[in-house]
Structure 1
Amino acid sequence: MKKELKILLVDDHSVVRHGTSLLLKKAFEGIVISHADNFKEAIDKLNQKQDVVFLDINIPGGNSTKMVEKVRHDHPEILIMMFSAYDETQYALRYIHAGANGFLNKYSSDSEIIKAVKLLLETGKYLSDAVKEKIVENTFSKNPVNPLDKLSEREIEVAQLLVSGEGNLEISNKLNIQMSTVSTFKSRIFEKLGINNIVKLVEVLNIYKN
């Protein structure tokens, strides 16, 4: 490891940034930590030659995987660790495919966070055991990595209308289908994605819809 390690923590919650900063400073010598609470500020500070960036999914000015793609394009040498409260088994691979080096859940134990950073620095990547198991499960069961691949084109269409705020009646009129059919599509969408409300549907579409 280099004598000086520069890490940028990007999160709009100061408690998360400062707590993570204290943990990392205790675990690593010669560490210099910078903070940003929005994507624009993060871009400015990334231009100051950081080694690692901890990047939350939901930050002001950010746009899901597009953030990772921009950081990777502008700074191909930097190690990107996604740091989110979202379920890593659902979201990690999407961000890794976009260019991240790892995905770490904010609710991980202190020891797991330190282990993750060490592995990131040593190998250039980090996957939790849960994500590794998910990869194996998807491989053997042939489940799609992108859960939206489970949906038909019509179900995608209905899902997009639902997250845009359209009700069953509006969707029925727009697609020229019965309201009962809209309800059936909605139930199928929720079941296939393993969710139970529109808020979760919004999250899934924000992450996985190109």
Structure 2
Amino acid sequence: MTSEYNILIADDHSVVRQGVSLILKYSLPNIIINQTDTLNGVLEKMVVTTFDLIILDINLPGGNNVLMIEKIRGIDPNVKILMFSAFEEDLYAMRYLNSGANGYLNKLGNEEEIVEAVRKVLTTGKYISDSLKDKLINDLLNNVSQTNPLERLSNRELEISRLLVNGYGNLEIANHLNIQMSTVSTYKGRIFEKLEVKNVVSLADLFKLYENN
């Protein structure tokens, strides 16, 4: 990497932004780093600055779903997007990659993985971890499709499922996601139907079985 690159780190936690910024500046001195903590901040900065790469928190305020990618691409179709999340790759990575992201990086990765992910996206346009690559190859060789029942859920259904499993009630979920309680109830019904469970206890058991597989 010899060119100079403009990178935007979008995460609502200052400690995360500062930490990633320090790691990248140390290992990739030919970069210029900007920061923001909301999706609106991303879109506003893109209007005045052309970025080579956006490191995008999967839970960024104002976004929280794959539609973030569509909004960003609406301003700059060529910008590279590296999703940044603590959520499991098995459940989330392909959703965002299929929606147009260039890579998916787990926040629990070490410094070398962060640098490698950024370097690869900037130079080759793509990044997936070795563990995800192995899973995809294994699934392909064994003709495996949808082995994890949680993969039947949409992004919003998966998000609400997590909140249910973590003890949130319908009202708390509605307030947390800024949606109507009736909408939560509708999603809850869909989730139970898709996963063939009858209550939150059974849903939690399913998550224990599959979310780390």
TM-score bin (small chain): 0.7 to 0.9
Give the Cα separation in 1 of the matches to 2:75 and 2:7. Answer: 17
Give the aligned partner of residue 6 of structure 2: 6
Say whether 1:142 aligns with 2:145.
yes
CA RMSD after TM alignment = 3.3
Matched, 1:128 2:129: yes
Specify which of 162, 165, 177 is matched with residue 170 of structure 2.
165
Q: CA deviation at 1:137?
A: 3.8
Q: Secondary structure at the match of 1:42?
A: helix
- Structure 2 CA distance, aligned partners of 1:20 and 1:66? 24
Tell me, yes or no, if the aligned pair for 1:11 and 1:56 is still in contact at 8 Å: yes
1:131-189 CA distances to partner (integer Å, 9 max, x unpaired)? Answer: 112223443222258834289xxxx9xx7xx67718xxxx8xxx8xxxxxx97454554
2:170 is paired with a residue of what secondary structure? Answer: coil
Cα pair distance change 1:34/1:115, threshold 3 Å: same
Q: CA deviation at 1:58?
A: 1.0
Which AA in structure 2 matches 1:165?
N
| Alpha-carbon separation, structure 1, partners of 2:197 and 2:114 | 43
Mind listing any 5+ residue stretches in structure 1 that lack a counterpart?
A: 176-181, 201-210
Equivalent residues of 2:197, 2:203 under 8 A apart: no
Q: Secondary structure at the match of 1:114?
A: helix
SS at match of 2:121: helix
- Look up the equivalent residue of 2:62 and give its one-letter code: G
User: Corresponding residue for 1:23?
Assistant: 23
Letter in 2 for 1:29: P
Give the fraction of aligned pairs with identical amino acids, expressed as a percent.
37
1:38 maps to what in 2? Answer: 38
Normalised TM-score (structure 1): 0.72
What is the rounded CA distance, in whole Å, between the counterparts of 1:144 and 1:63 in structure 2?
Answer: 25
Name 1:69's counterpart in structure 2: 70
Shift of 1:15: 0.5
Q: 1:42 to 1:195 in 2, by over 3 A?
A: farther
- One-letter identity of the residue aligned with 1:109: N
Q: Which whole-Å CA distance do the structure 2 matches of 1:13 and 1:150 have between them?
A: 27
- Kept in 2, the 8 Å contact 1:85–1:106? The answer is yes
Q: CA deviation at 1:122?
A: 1.9
CA spacing shift, 1:150–1:17, aligned 2, 3 Å: closer
- The question of whether the paired residues in 2 share the 8 Å contact of 1:88 and 1:131 is answered with yes
Counterpart position of 1:107: 108
Partner of 1:84: 85
- Counterpart of 2:3, as a letter, is K
Q: Which amino acid aligns with 1:43?
A: L
CA distance in 2, matches of 1:144, 1:96: 19
Q: How many pairs are equivalent? A: 179
Equivalent residue, structure 1, for 2:175: none
- The answer to whether the Cα contact below 8 Å between 2:46 and 2:75 also exists between their aligned partners in 1 is no
Alpha-carbon spacing, 1:164–1:134, altered in 2? closer, same or farther (3 Å): farther
Gaps of 5+ in 2: 172-184, 190-195
